Amino acid sequence: MLDTVRRVSSFDAARPRGAALLALAATLLAALAIGAADARAQFVPRPWATINACDPAEDPGSVGVRVSVPNRRDAAQWVRIRIQFFDGTLGSWRVVRSGGDGGFMKLSDGGGRVFGGTTFTFTPPKAGSQLKLRGLVDVEWRSGKRVVSRSQITTPLGTCTSSGPTRPTTTRG
C-alpha cells in the first residue's frame, strides 16, 4: 500500500530556465503538428481543367478542354466536359445546348492521376463577332454504379475568346 510520497518534482522559481525551455519545446511541437496537418490539407490532389486549344490556325473553330483527375480510394474516374459561353445580355455563363456536351466518359479504373479531354468544333460566326468560352467539367469517382465522390470545375475565366459557336461537334480524346 502506498501511503508515502518519497519525492515531488516541480518547476519552481529556482529552476526558471528549465521550465521555460520545456514550455518552448511544447509550443514548438504543437506548432509543428498543426503546420504538418495544414500542409497535408494544402497538398491534397485536386482535379483541374484548362483550355488547351482555342481556334488554332490548323483547326479553325476548335476548342479543346484538357482535364487532370487524381485518384480517390481506387475508384474509377469519370468526367463530363461541357463548353460554356458568356452571355453578355444576361451577364452570366451558359452551357452551349446543341453539341456542347461531351457526355460522361470513363478515364480510368482508378489507381493514379489520369488525363483526358474533349475537342469541340464550332462553325465560325460572322466576321467581327467574338465569344468568350470556358470549359465546365463534372468529375465523378465511382465504385461500380455508386458515386463515392464528385467535383465540378471550370477552366480559368476568359481562357478562350473565339469567333463563336453555332453548332459544335465533339471529338473525344
Q: How confident is the model at residue 111 (pLDDT cuts 50, 70, 90)?
A: confident
> d(Cα 102, Cα 117) in Å, to the nearest integer?
9
Give CA 43 to chain center in angstroms: 11
Domain ranges of the chain: 11-44, 48-172
pLDDT of residue 166: 38
**pTM, entire model:** 0.68
- What pLDDT, in 10s, does the model give residues 39-50? 555 566 899 999
User: How do residues 56-85 score in pLDDT, each as one tens digit?
Assistant: 888 888 889 999 999 987 899 999 999 998
- Give the end-to-end CA distance of the chain in Å, rounded to a whole number: 78
Tens of pLDDT, residue by residue over 118-129, are 999 887 667 777
pLDDT tens-place string over residues 14-33: 445 555 555 656 666 666 66
- CATH classification for the domain delimited by 48-172, as one of 1.10.287, 2.60.120, 2.30.30, 2.60.40: 2.60.40
